[in-house]
Amino acid sequence: MTHLVESFRDHFYIGLYLLLLIDTMGLPIPSELPLLYGGYLIWQHKISIVPAGFIAAAGALTGSLIAYAISRKVGRAVVLRWGRRVFITEEHLHRSELWFEKRGPAAVFVCRMIPLARTLISIPAGIAEMEPIRFAIYSFAGSLPWAFALLGAGWALGSSYKKVQHSFTLA
């Protein structure tokens, strides 16, 4: 496990990009954890916050564009049929569609900062055939504050990292 953490640290920017791409494509991974860890690496002066934040937002954008394009191409019925395998139910999709209809592009921006919703919002945006450039702009803009907030939280907790690490080791 230590080797995995060290490898991730050594290739942090690439790993961060790929993890956030995978997360926003719809695969359930805890993307908040690598961002918090990134904040710790920033606290240690091993990486820089600006590239980390923009790379995180770029990874999130890439993954959401893939989910958006698939949803736009296949439509609602196929999303529901296959979405059940990753816990997208009729109710989840309906609620996200209503949210999207009421708020449009602002829904994409806001949902990028809300866990789980950040992944799901690409689906109703694709089904509704939101203009791709507009979707990309609102997705990237919403991903930036989320990424920088979590990196900042990790940085602020930097001095407490050893205490937290000890607690996880005991568990």
**Predicted local confidence at residue 64, as pLDDT:** 97
Domain ranges of the chain: 2-166
Residue in the block written with tokens 């950040």: 118
**Predicted local confidence at residue 85, as pLDDT:** 63
**Predicted local confidence at residue 83, as pLDDT:** 67
Tokens at residue 25, please?
């494509």
Residues with Cβ within 8 Å of residue 38, at least 6 apart in sequence:
12, 16, 47, 52, 56, 150, 151, 154
| DSSP single-letter state for residue 122 | H
Among 72, 61, 56, residue whose Cα is nearest residue 139:
61
Q: How far apart are CA 35 and CA 95, in angstroms?
A: 28
**Predicted local confidence at residue 96, as pLDDT:** 74
- pLDDT tens for the 171 residues of the chain, in order: 566 556 666 789 999 999 999 999 988 788 889 999 999 999 999 999 999 999 999 999 999 999 999 989 987 777 777 766 666 777 877 777 787 778 888 999 999 999 888 888 898 899 888 999 999 999 999 999 999 999 999 999 987 876 766 666 555
